[in-house]
Structure 1
Amino acid sequence: MYGDRKGSKVMKINFVSSLHRSMSSWHLLTILLLLLSLQLRLALGSFTLFGPAKKAELRDQVRQMFYHAYDNYMQYAFPHDELKPLTKTFTDSLGELGNLKLERLSEQYNGSALTLVESLSSLHVLGNSSEFEKGVLWLGENLTFDVDVRVSLFECNIRLLGGLISAHLLATDLSKKSFREPYKDQLLILANDLGQRFLRAFDTPTGLPYAWINLKHGVMENETTETSTSGCGSLILEMGALSRLTGKPEYEESALRALRKLWSMRSSLDLMGTTLDVTTGEWIEHSSGIGAGVDSFYEYLIKAHILFGRDEYWDMFSSAYTAVQKYFRHGPWYHEADMRTGKATHWQLTSLQAFWPGLQILVGDVLAANSTHREFFSVWERYGVLPERYLLDRDMLHPTEKYYPLRPELAESTLFLYQATRDPWYLEVGEAIINSLNVYTRVNGGFASVRDVTTMKLEDHQHSFFLAETCKYLYLLFDDTFLVNGNYVFSTEGHPLPVTHSWHEWIPSIYMESEAFEYKRGGKHVFKSAMSSKLCPVVKVSPVQGKFWVESACHVLDKRSNHKCQSDKECGVDATTCRQRTCSIAGYCGLWLVKF
């Protein structure tokens, strides 16, 4: 599972075994060096002590950033899709998302309040229940999808469908406490309507969906049959959730059949290409990596396993992750390679790859996540923001892709790494990101994308994901109250979906096609999930001095806000394995190593 990182495993094993024996001279020397390093950083002023006051100050800065973006959208762009902050106007961009050539744009389309939909879960995270309720009521009364507009199935799924489903779940809970008017499932009704329109995209010989669909008329005549791996392999979270909320299995069945077909097309190396044909099931582009066109495919495999409890998703992810580590990884970086041979094709960093360390945290690969995250942040520090594409083999920016569209991926990974380690260095990273965004991208009318990171010339566009993801992840970095109150999986668009037993127990018929984990209760076949069985996928079991230690795929974030400890008892029980956590000799609870 961990590729060639034998040294990392040895380090982990030595660390764990040291918890139960006296410190060697090597450990004493290591601690002395760490203390000396800390003392030097304090003396040089390069280390910030993040107490409650400092964290509250940065949290409030993020809050101000969000409302500066949100208020300007509501004043100058609502109910259109997105804000143009330089001119304080709007763009109806839903039909343009992913549409690089701006083909077949609709002249009748006037927007779907995209940024409002995307902002709802962030409003809830920030604790603004009144504005959240106001947005829910407006959408329930005014939003319709019976509009003549050709949209990207992928973009519409992660932004609109995901935003509506997440907000519906939050509204269901919030309406019991603070809503002035009773919530009547308005957002779920909208989501169900949108899901019905999506189903028409899956009418292909392979079951792989078209990348483009007209919301009013379905698949258009002479529509392109080309799609991306992400486009047809990153639908399962939203459509699976919609099935569970409506009781209609067709949404999840369509998404899962497409995912299974896609997985069957992998190479003998367990690698996927980037683009394919939905009618023939043949690959068009064989070079692939962890960036654009394939990134969320990996993300949704592990997150579907967490959310729905199916071992099928874990099996896919485990094989795919191992292949990525074997063929794409080069030290802390990830290049691209031919899916058929594993040979490197393009040596480049893309900003979308910055999500990868956050994904690695979900499976407990903390050391590798930290290594890659630090490299991405070093590029951020060099330019002030993260350029869209950087050529690693030439140590230079891509000549045409020098932009930064307010992407959230680095902030996302920073949040996950801080949650896993409680290392205050990640708070320093978050502060640096906040400062950069305010210095380079904040304008009077909102936040603008950077057109060229070498000149910091701006572009007149504030993407909806800036409010859905970038601001949300930065806020949670400094105030994780929302995470402490419940366990959530965040979609690739940053929309939280709760991890619940009921979703693990619900089983549509499509799972029965390959069901191997059933037992009889009262004469009925009932699925017994990994969560209800208190099981967790094991990545590696290693014998250490007569004991066995497990590197666990601890995918549910710990609810405690402080990992400092004096005894194992204070660390509590791991949420996914139900085993006692250990307290290290340094006084911190073990996060990914648990006693077997």
Structure 2
Amino acid sequence: MLCRDIQTWVLIFLVISPTIFNISLSAGLDSRRAAKKRRMSEKVRKMFYHAYDNYMTYAFPHDELKPLTKTFTNSLSELGNLKLEYLPQKYNGSALTLIESLSSLVIMGNNTEFEKAVLWLSDNLTFDVDARINLFECNIRVLGGLVSSHILATDSTSRLVQGLYKNQLLFLAEDLGRRFLPAFDTPTGLPYAWINLKYGVMENETTETSTSGCGSLILEMGALSRLTGDPRFESAALQALRKLWSMRSSLNLLGTTLDVATGEWIEYSSGIGAGVDSFYEYLIKAHILFGRDEFWRMFQSAYLAVQKYFRHGPWYHEADMRTGKATYWQLTSLQAFWPGLQVLVGDIAAANSSHREFVYLWEKFGVLPERYLLDHQMLHPTEKYYPLRPELAESTFYLYQATKDPWYIEVGESIVDSLNLYTKVEGGFASIKDVTTMDLEDHQHSFFLAEMCKYLYLLFDDSFLVDRNYIFTTEGHPLPVMSSWHERIPTYIQSNGTSVKSENLAKRAHAMSLRVCPATTLNSGHSSQRIESACHIHDARGDHRCSTDDDCGVDSTTCRQRSCSMAGYCGLWFFV
């Protein structure tokens, strides 16, 4: 009897012990992962303060830090100003890096330093300066930083700057927004790319601008209108966006550069990189933030066109907006934001596929080069630099939020290790001049603190996002998703076809928790028909092989037409 009882208990133990072992193993694994995330978040915190403290010591209140020489640059008037024209003589900076750091300070829990910074800006910052600035750059960095920080300072749950803050950042933002408005006084309503903060549009100012430059203003200027009650900011940005959308081709593609006076395109080649990138980003984020179906309809059409005409397997080339034919076959570091955008619409598989291509390049070079020629599998001969761009870290953060796959934590760790190995110097973090030699450049861009450190920190510690709904601007500044900002509550359709209840909308619409694919419906009489969703677009090019020369585009280095071989692969015409 005793023997039989012992046998029974042995059998029971053999049955349940694997389960106990697996539970114990899983708990141990979770514990190790949590410890690793804590360790990595602390590493990122130290990175941020190394950059921030050196800026405050050697550059503040000027715009940006020069970490190699431990000096400063008043760069707000230089951003986008490649020829360095019309630089001001008496401009002494606008504390650009401090403004860009404000929301990162809050996310990392340093309310004391945030309060000090807010009060200093309240007493000292002025925009009544004779400085010609790039509207897009000043909008996403300065206006976006001020609007976001005002919201954080007045958040009832944060209890920041109690009794001392009287909406000073909002007053500064409103003043800056008013200085933007003359830029929109054009025959088309499309804004000039450049404006003088003190005197408005300069005489003989260039009328050339980019798609991003006039189509990526709606978040910051829309939020400013909602906060101040002055509709002019949102109205100007919305008018420009609508005009830009009306200029799309019959394929729903837009070019890269245009003329704000004539409304004519200058550059017809387009893609998802520089000059166009944030246009796509702001359509979907404006839909989430403001609830306008108009933004979703624009985005859906544009996104489907990108998938049809730019996508080639896991990466995206450029194409002519008029014909959809391939032009340039290249990856640029700015394109690395795209997987993060795809997470917002639930296209996780496609996001992961593209993200891995950028990770491969990061691992190959140690950082992400500015431009990589896909048709030659080589670096661009002159654009071999890495200016601390944060887009890969941004997409890594979004994908981890969507999947909780620990592989993305490993990617984040690799990014942190590379930055510390190659770009950290005694005076801060320096840009890389050439990824083949890792020679450094004397510039610490403000977006390193606004985006790179923020997204890496949130990857490892997302406690700031618990029970809060935010979208992040293209410069990484958080804006809350609030029903009071929605003109009309948008309706989402889940993959099973059922509607999302309005009381759950805030969670569904949240950029971090959007796990359903938004779609629109057409109502016809008593029935409604669901139209094509942007999720899970199949690759239009099948096996990615060519059928005609037009499929192959132009060679990236010689600018010669590439040919489609008899075997169906793209090559290069060689002329004698």
Q: TM-score, normalised by structure 2?
A: 0.82
- Indicate how the Cα distance of structure 1 residues 50 and 362 shifts in structure 2: closer, same or farther if over 3 A, else same: farther
Within the candidate set 349, 362, 366, 1:384 is matched to 366
Could you tell me which residue of structure 2 aligns to residue 359 of structure 1? 341
- Indicate how the Cα distance of structure 1 residues 537 and 242 shifts in structure 2: closer, same or farther if over 3 A, else same: farther
Q: 2:366 is matched by which residue type in structure 1?
A: G
Q: 1:336 is matched by which residue type in structure 2?
A: E
Could you tell me which residue of structure 2 aligns to residue 445 of structure 1? 427
User: Which secondary structure does the structure 1 equivalent of 2:452 belong to?
Assistant: helix
Question: Aligned partners of 2:264 and 2:251: how far apart in 1?
Answer: 17
CA offset at residue 461 of structure 1? 0.1
Question: Aligned partners of 1:115 and 1:127: how far apart in 2?
Answer: 18
Q: Are the counterparts in 1 of residues 188 and 263 from structure 2 also a CA contact under 8 Å?
A: yes
- Indicate how the Cα distance of structure 1 residues 575 and 496 shifts in structure 2: closer, same or farther if over 3 A, else same: farther
- Indicate how the Cα distance of structure 1 residues 285 and 50 shifts in structure 2: closer, same or farther if over 3 A, else same: farther
Q: Are the counterparts in 2 of residues 175 and 183 from structure 1 also a CA contact under 8 Å?
A: no
Q: For this pair of structures, how many residues does the alignment match?
A: 487
Could you tell me which residue of structure 2 aligns to residue 520 of structure 1? none
Matches within 5 A, 1:17-56: 51-56=33-38
Question: Aligned partners of 2:314 and 2:158: how far apart in 1?
Answer: 47
Could you tell me which residue of structure 1 aligns to residue 112 of structure 2? 130
Q: 2:382 is matched by which residue type in structure 1?
A: T
Matches within 5 A, 1:184-195: 184-195=166-177
CA offset at residue 98 of structure 1? 0.4
Could you tell me which residue of structure 2 aligns to residue 6 of structure 1? none
Q: 1:54 is matched by which residue type in structure 2?
A: K
User: Which secondary structure does the structure 1 equivalent of 2:147 belong to?
Assistant: helix
Structure 1: unaligned runs, 5 residues or longer: 1-38, 506-527, 544-552, 561-572, 578-591
CA offset at residue 537 of structure 1? 5.3
Question: Aligned partners of 1:188 and 1:275: how far apart in 2?
Answer: 32
Matches within 5 A, 1:464-475: 464-475=446-457
Question: Aligned partners of 1:367 and 1:175: how far apart in 2?
Answer: 36
Q: Does 1:536 align with 2:489?
A: no
Q: Are the counterparts in 2 of residues 554 and 576 from structure 1 also a CA contact under 8 Å?
A: no
CA offset at residue 183 of structure 1? 1.3
User: Which secondary structure does the structure 2 equivalent of 1:51 belong to?
Assistant: helix
Q: Are the counterparts in 2 of residues 362 and 554 from structure 1 also a CA contact under 8 Å?
A: no
Q: Does 1:425 align with 2:407?
A: yes
CA offset at residue 447 of structure 1? 0.2
Q: 1:556 is matched by which residue type in structure 2?
A: H
Structure 2: unaligned runs, 5 residues or longer: 1-21, 499-506, 520-534, 537-576
CA offset at residue 485 of structure 1? 3.3
CA offset at residue 314 of structure 1? 0.1
Question: Aligned partners of 2:40 and 2:516: how far apart in 1?
Answer: 30
Question: Aligned partners of 2:365 and 2:508: how far apart in 1?
Answer: 34
Q: Are the counterparts in 2 of residues 213 and 219 from structure 1 also a CA contact under 8 Å?
A: yes
User: Which secondary structure does the structure 1 equivalent of 2:137 belong to?
Assistant: helix
CA offset digits 1:52-82 (Å, max 9, x no partner):
1111000000000000000000000000000
Question: Aligned partners of 1:390 and 1:309: how far apart in 2?
Answer: 37
Could you tell me which residue of structure 1 aligns to residue 154 of structure 2? 172
CA offset at residue 108 of structure 1? 1.1
Q: Are the counterparts in 1 of residues 59 and 72 from structure 2 also a CA contact under 8 Å?
A: yes
Q: 1:418 is matched by which residue type in structure 2?
A: Y
Within the candidate set 214, 219, 230, 1:237 is matched to 219
User: Which secondary structure does the structure 2 equivalent of 1:497 belong to?
Assistant: strand
User: Which secondary structure does the structure 2 equivalent of 1:83 belong to?
Assistant: strand
Could you tell me which residue of structure 2 aligns to residue 454 of structure 1? 436
Q: Does 1:273 align with 2:259?
A: no
- Indicate how the Cα distance of structure 1 residues 210 and 414 shifts in structure 2: closer, same or farther if over 3 A, else same: same
- Indicate how the Cα distance of structure 1 residues 175 and 487 shifts in structure 2: closer, same or farther if over 3 A, else same: closer
User: Which secondary structure does the structure 1 equivalent of 2:40 belong to?
Assistant: helix
Question: Aligned partners of 1:81 and 1:211: how far apart in 2?
Answer: 20
Question: Aligned partners of 2:65 and 2:163: how far apart in 1?
Answer: 29
Matches within 5 A, 1:115-514: 115-173=97-155, 177-505=159-487
Could you tell me which residue of structure 1 aligns to residue 62 of structure 2? 80
- Taking only aligned residues, the RMSD between alpha carbons, in angstroms, comes to 2.3
Question: Aligned partners of 2:423 and 2:191: how far apart in 1?
Answer: 37
Could you tell me which residue of structure 1 aligns to residue 510 of structure 2? 556
Q: 1:486 is matched by which residue type in structure 2?
A: R
- Indicate how the Cα distance of structure 1 residues 96 and 529 shifts in structure 2: closer, same or farther if over 3 A, else same: same
Q: Are the counterparts in 2 of residues 441 and 458 from structure 1 also a CA contact under 8 Å?
A: yes
Q: Are the counterparts in 2 of residues 175 and 182 from structure 1 also a CA contact under 8 Å?
A: no
Question: Aligned partners of 1:83 and 1:558: how far apart in 2?
Answer: 32
Q: Percent identity?
A: 74
CA offset at residue 556 of structure 1? 1.8
CA offset at residue 536 of structure 1? 1.3
Could you tell me which residue of structure 2 aligns to residue 61 of structure 1? 43
- Bigger CA drift: 169-178 or 323-332? 169-178
Q: 2:423 is matched by which residue type in structure 1?
A: T
CA offset at residue 136 of structure 1? 0.4
- Indicate how the Cα distance of structure 1 residues 281 and 574 shifts in structure 2: closer, same or farther if over 3 A, else same: closer
Q: 2:195 is matched by which residue type in structure 1?
A: I
- Indicate how the Cα distance of structure 1 residues 332 and 542 shifts in structure 2: closer, same or farther if over 3 A, else same: farther
CA offset digits 1:368-389 (Å, max 9, x no partner):
0000000100000000000000
Q: Are the counterparts in 2 of residues 118 and 468 from structure 1 also a CA contact under 8 Å?
A: yes
Question: Aligned partners of 2:400 and 2:326: how far apart in 1?
Answer: 32
User: Which secondary structure does the structure 2 equivalent of 1:179 belong to?
Assistant: coil
Question: Aligned partners of 1:501 and 1:325: how far apart in 2?
Answer: 31
Question: Aligned partners of 1:323 and 1:574: how far apart in 2?
Answer: 21
Structure with greater Cα Rg: 2
Question: Aligned partners of 2:32 and 2:404: how far apart in 1?
Answer: 11
Could you tell me which residue of structure 1 aligns to residue 573 of structure 2? none
- Indicate how the Cα distance of structure 1 residues 174 and 284 shifts in structure 2: closer, same or farther if over 3 A, else same: same
CA offset at residue 181 of structure 1? 3.9
Q: Are the counterparts in 1 of residues 398 and 512 from structure 2 also a CA contact under 8 Å?
A: no
